[in-house]
Structure 1
Amino acid sequence: MLEFSHFNEQGRARMVDIGDKHETNRTAIAQSSLLLSEEIYNKMTSGSIEKGDVLAIAQIAGIMAAKQTSHMIPMCHPIALTSIDIFFQWERTEDANRLIITCSVKTRGSTGVEMEALTAVSVCALTVYDMCKAIDKGMIIGPTFLVKKTGGKSGNFTRIE
């Protein structure tokens, strides 16, 4: 079996042993988005969604999700995160209103924070959907992807588009 396999000698699931890995500064940036109707865009930007400030609630949900990733993804290690920051940006065209969600996560540790960043943006998007579904259930979530990661044995990664 591979050293960092999620399977033990019997072929059963296990959490990878990271005890001998060196602690390094690690960062990850992930992104997701939602394609929204004009009505939702107008209500969100004017602050007239009946359930409240959608982006504030989504931001808190994303932060909470990043901190709880190891409880949701079976083989993720609990990580002491040193920073979680979530940003929102509107991308508008004649045909579409897209809310772009970006999350940056940092730690100093023996394993990366890609899953924490990806979980955060996913939960942010789901929270926006939940808060706006009464207006329009036709929202589209995605794509969701890793933008960049730094630190660790595998080195740095930057998504090339």
Structure 2
Amino acid sequence: MKDYSKLPYRPCAGIMLANREGQVFVGQRLDAADSLYPDAWQMPQGGIDKGEEAEAAALRELREETGVVEDHVQVIGRTREEYLYDLPDELLGKVWKGKYRGQRQSWFLMRFTGDDGHIDIQTEHPEFVDWKWTDPAGLPDIIVPFKRDLYRAVLKEFGPLI
């Protein structure tokens, strides 16, 4: 059996997109119905390309996953540190071509300055089948279990700024 503990963490940027009412964007992954967590939602996030700055990656991922462009957001803050999470045993070796044990994420709080019509999850490479605005306090309850502690930490840091 492969020793996954020696694998690196995938560099990633996450976005907590908050609207004017203080609610946060979450999307239901397109592959959720086929997964172990069919009812799970998540905030936009994605890998940081080699040589790419974390904030640039966050803005790119936001556009790629939600259709929201930089003109419709204001960057409010960035987490003080990167947050790590490990994949559960049942996903190790199956996602990201087995190259990573989990992710190390820099998170960005962004204020959405557009309107709901500026959100379009039917992007070139869709990741979400549905989306909604949700109360930030309820985020850990609708996320996959292995990311709940990370979401709680991000909420603790960004909560006063939302």
* TM-score, normalised by the number of residues in structure 2: 0.28
